[in-house]
Amino acid sequence: MKRVLLIIAGFISIGLGIIGIFIPLLPTTAFLLLAVWLFSKSSPRWRAWLLDHPYLGRHIRNYTLHRGITRKAKIRTLLTLWITLAISASLTYQRWYIPVILLFVGIGVTWHISVLRTLTEESLKIDPQDYVDSGVDRNNVA
């Protein structure tokens, strides 16, 4: 029963992570990392599926193994963030404090994304075995 609940929670986390791609207040990476952890406790098959997913898996591996994201992902993330925050602020301008809160959220997320290591093609070619020596277990990403 516990295994089934962890798998269900893993898929809910994936769903929230996917929604977070389009809604800036939901942390996509955090939900995907949670899903990997939940699957690591319940289903190696679903964990492998998520890590090998052609779109989501790449982002999880970049964040956990390489401790960063690509320049393209940074730009896409920040553009999506500020466009959706601007739309949200324009729809809620009657309550002055909501756009102010959105501004602070945008600044915080922009800062977080900006300080992440920017991955290049060269840094992605590094053998993941090198990370084992640095204490990152590539077989237990989460």
- pTM of the complete model: 0.66
> What single letter denotes the amino acid at residue 51?
L
55 and 16, same domain (yes or no)? yes
Q: Look at residue 12 in the predicted model and tell me its pLDDT.
A: 96
Whether the predicted pLDDT of 140 surpasses 60:
no
Q: How far apart are CA 81 and CA 99, in angstroms?
A: 14
Residue listed under structure tokens 């516990």: 2
- Mean pLDDT computed over 54-60: 85
Domain of residue 138 covers 1-66+131-142
> What single letter denotes the amino acid at residue 118?
T
**pLDDT, tens digit (0-9, with 9 covering 90-100), for 95-122:** 999 999 999 989 998 998 899 889 887 7
110 and 78, same domain (yes or no)? yes
85 and 39, same domain (yes or no)? no
Give the count of domains, the chain.
2
91 and 46, same domain (yes or no)? no
**pLDDT, tens digit (0-9, with 9 covering 90-100), for 58-91:** 888 888 777 888 898 889 888 988 998 899 899 9
Task: Give the angle subtended at the CA of 13 by the CAs of 11 and 14, to the nearest 5°.
Answer: 65
